[in-house]
Amino acid sequence: MAKRFSVDEYADGILAGNRMVLSRAITLVESTLPTDQHLAQQVLDRVLPHAGRSVRVGITGVPGVGKSTFIEALGLELLRQGKRLAVLAVDPTSQRSGGSILGDKTRMNQLAAQEQAYIRPSPAGRSLGGVTRSTREAMILCEAAGHDVLFIETVGVGQSETAVHGMVDFFLLLMLAGAGDELQGIKKGIMEMADAVTITKADGQNETAAKLARREYQNALHLFPLAPSGWNPVVTTSSALTGAGVAEVWQVVEQYVEQTRQSGYFQRRRQEQNLHWLYEAIRQGLEEQFYAKASVQQQLPALRQQVLEGSKSAFGAAAELLGL
Amino acid sequence: MAKRFSVDEYADGILAGNRMVLSRAITLVESTLPTDQHLAQQVLDRVLPHAGRSVRVGITGVPGVGKSTFIEALGLELLRQGKRLAVLAVDPTSQRSGGSILGDKTRMNQLAAQEQAYIRPSPAGRSLGGVTRSTREAMILCEAAGHDVLFIETVGVGQSETAVHGMVDFFLLLMLAGAGDELQGIKKGIMEMADAVTITKADGQNETAAKLARREYQNALHLFPLAPSGWNPVVTTSSALTGAGVAEVWQVVEQYVEQTRQSGYFQRRRQEQNLHWLYEAIRQGLEEQFYAKASVQQQLPALRQQVLEGSKSAFGAAAELLGL
Identify the weakest region by mean pLDDT among A16-25, B1-10, B35-44: B1-10
Nearest CA in chain B to A271: B308
A176 and A59 share a domain?
yes
A4 and A90 share a domain?
no
* Backbone φ and ψ of B253, nearest 5°: -60, -45
User: What does pLDDT average to over chain B?
Assistant: 87
pTM here is 0.73
Q: Tell which wins on pLDDT, A3 or B242.
A: B242
A40 and A61 share a domain?
no
Question: Is a pLDDT exceeding 90 seen at residue A220?
Answer: no
Question: Is a pLDDT exceeding 50 seen at residue A280?
Answer: yes
Task: Tell me if A270 is assigned to some domain.
Answer: no
Query: Where does a domain end: B212, B234, B263?
Result: B263
**Distances, alpha carbon B33 to alpha carbons A324, B190, B277, in Å:** 20, 34, 21
pLDDT of residue B93: 61
Task: Tell me if B162 is assigned to some domain.
Answer: yes
Task: Tell me if B192 is assigned to some domain.
Answer: yes
Q: Tell which wins on pLDDT, A62 or B277.
A: B277
**Sign, Cα dihedral of A95, A98, A99, A101:** negative
Question: Is a pLDDT exceeding 60 seen at residue B97?
Answer: no
Question: Is a pLDDT exceeding 90 seen at residue A192?
Answer: no
Among candidates B16, A312, B132, A322, which has minimal Cα distance to B5? B16
CB contact under 8 A, A314 and B48: no
Q: Identify residue B315 by its one-letter amino acid code.
A: F
Task: Tell me if B227 is assigned to some domain.
Answer: yes
* Whole-number Å distance between alpha carbons of B257 and B229: 10
A303 and A207 share a domain?
no
Task: Tell me if A271 is assigned to some domain.
Answer: no
Query: Where does a domain end: A263, A289, A304?
Result: A263
pLDDT per residue over A238-259, tens digit each?
999 999 999 999 999 999 999 9
Instruction: Give per-residue burial for B65-80: e unless 16+ CB within 10 Å, then b.
Output: bbbbbbbbbbbbbbbe
- Which residues in chain B have their CB less than 8 angstroms from residue A303's CB? 278
Q: What is the mean pLDDT of residues A217-237?
A: 85
Task: Tell me if A63 is assigned to some domain.
Answer: yes
pLDDT band at residue B1 under the 50/70/90 scheme: low
DSSP annotation string for B10-73: HHHHHHTT-HHHHHHHHHHHH---HHHHHHHHHHHHHHGGG---SEEEEEE--TTS-HHHHHHH
A13 and A96 share a domain?
no
A121 near A154, Cβ under 8 Å? no
DSSP run (H or E) holding A221: helix A207-222
Q: In percent, how much of chain A has pLDDT > 90? A: 62
Q: In percent, how much of chain B has pLDDT > 70? A: 90
A44 and A111 share a domain?
no
* Backbone φ and ψ of A117, nearest 5°: -120, 140
**Distances, alpha carbon A140 to alpha carbons A15, A172, B315, in Å:** 11, 21, 12
Provide the CATH number for the domain around residue A223: 3.40.50.300
A162 and A311 share a domain?
no
pLDDT of residue B96: 40
Q: Identify residue A220 by its one-letter amino acid code.
A: A
A179 and A105 share a domain?
yes
pLDDT of residue B259: 97
pLDDT of residue B2: 62
pLDDT of residue A179: 40
* Backbone φ and ψ of B198, nearest 5°: -120, 130
Task: Tell me if B272 is assigned to some domain.
Answer: no
User: What does pLDDT average to over chain A?
Assistant: 87
Q: What is the mean pLDDT of residues A2-6?
A: 82
Among candidates A166, A188, A197, A181, which has minimal Cα distance to A278? A166
pLDDT per residue over A71-83, tens digit each?
999 999 999 999 9
CB contact under 8 A, B48 and A140: no
pLDDT of residue A96: 39
* Whole-number Å distance between alpha carbons of B283 and B132: 14
pLDDT of residue B99: 39
User: What is the Rg, in whole angstroms, of the alpha carbon atoms belonging to chain A?
Assistant: 21
CB contact under 8 A, A318 and B51: no
Identify the weakest region by mean pLDDT among A227-231, B125-129, B131-135: B125-129
A254 and A181 share a domain?
yes
Minimal Cβ distance to B322: which of A180, A282, A322:
A282
* Whole-number Å distance between alpha carbons of A203 and B131: 53
pLDDT band at residue B63 under the 50/70/90 scheme: confident
Question: Is a pLDDT exceeding 60 seen at residue B106?
Answer: no
Query: Where does a domain end: A235, A263, A291?
Result: A263
Residues 6 or more apart in contact with residue A85 via CB below 8 angstroms: A75, A78, A79, A111, A116, A117, A118, A147, A148, A149, A150, A151
CB contact under 8 A, B184 and A225: yes
pLDDT of residue B181: 47
Q: Tell which wins on pLDDT, B217 or B234.
A: B234
Structural domain boundaries enclosing B22: 1-50
A169 and A294 share a domain?
no
pLDDT per residue over A130-146, tens digit each?
788 889 999 999 999 99
Question: Is a pLDDT exceeding 50 seen at residue B95?
Answer: no
CB-count exposure of residue B98 (10 Å: 0-12, 13-18, 19+):
exposed
Task: Tell me if A269 is assigned to some domain.
Answer: no
* Whole-number Å distance between alpha carbons of A171 and B88: 37
pLDDT per residue over B235-272, tens digit each?
999 999 999 999 999 999 999 999 999 999 999 999 99
pLDDT per residue over B10-61, tens digit each?
999 999 999 999 999 999 999 988 899 889 999 999 999 999 999 999 999 8
Q: What is the mean pLDDT of residues A37-47?
A: 92
pLDDT band at residue A226 under the 50/70/90 scheme: confident
pLDDT of residue B51: 94
CB contact under 8 A, A227 and B316: no
B197 and B313 share a domain?
no
Among candidates B211, B213, B205, B156, which has minimal Cα distance to B179? B213
CB contact under 8 A, A314 and B277: yes
Question: Which of B278, B279, B284, B295 is the mutation pick for testing A, counting most A CBs within 10 A?
Answer: B278
Nearest CA in chain B to A277: B314
Q: Count how many pairs of residues, chain A against chain B, have C-beta atoms within 8 Å.
A: 176
Question: Which of A278, A309, A311 is the mutation pick for testing B, counting most B CBs within 10 A?
Answer: A278
Task: Count how many domains chain B has.
Answer: 3
Provide the CATH number for the domain around residue A6: 1.20.5.170
DSSP annotation string for A258-317: HHHHHHTHHHHHHHHHHHHHHHHHHHHHHHHHHHT-HHHHHHHHHHHHHHHHTSS-HHHH
Q: Which of A11-20, A57-66, A111-120 is most confident?
A: A11-20
Q: Identify residue B144 by its one-letter amino acid code.
A: A
A306 and A245 share a domain?
no
pLDDT band at residue A324 under the 50/70/90 scheme: low
Compute, in degrees rounded to 10, the torsion defined by CA atoms B211, B216, B217, B218.
Answer: 90
- Which residues in chain B have their CB less than 8 angstroms from residue A283's CB? 283, 286-287
B143 near B136, Cβ under 8 Å? no
Question: Which of B218, B221, B223, B266 is the mutation pick for testing A, counting most A CBs within 10 A?
Answer: B223
- Which residues in chain A have their CB less than 8 angstroms from residue B229's CB? none
pLDDT per residue over B282-298, tens digit each?
998 899 899 999 999 99
pLDDT per residue over B152-189, tens digit each?
998 766 678 888 999 999 999 998 887 444 454 555 57
Minimal Cβ distance to B225: which of A48, A184, A226:
A184
User: What is the Rg, in whole angstroms, of the alpha carbon atoms belonging to chain B?
Assistant: 21
B317: distance to nearest CA of chain A, Å?
Answer: 7
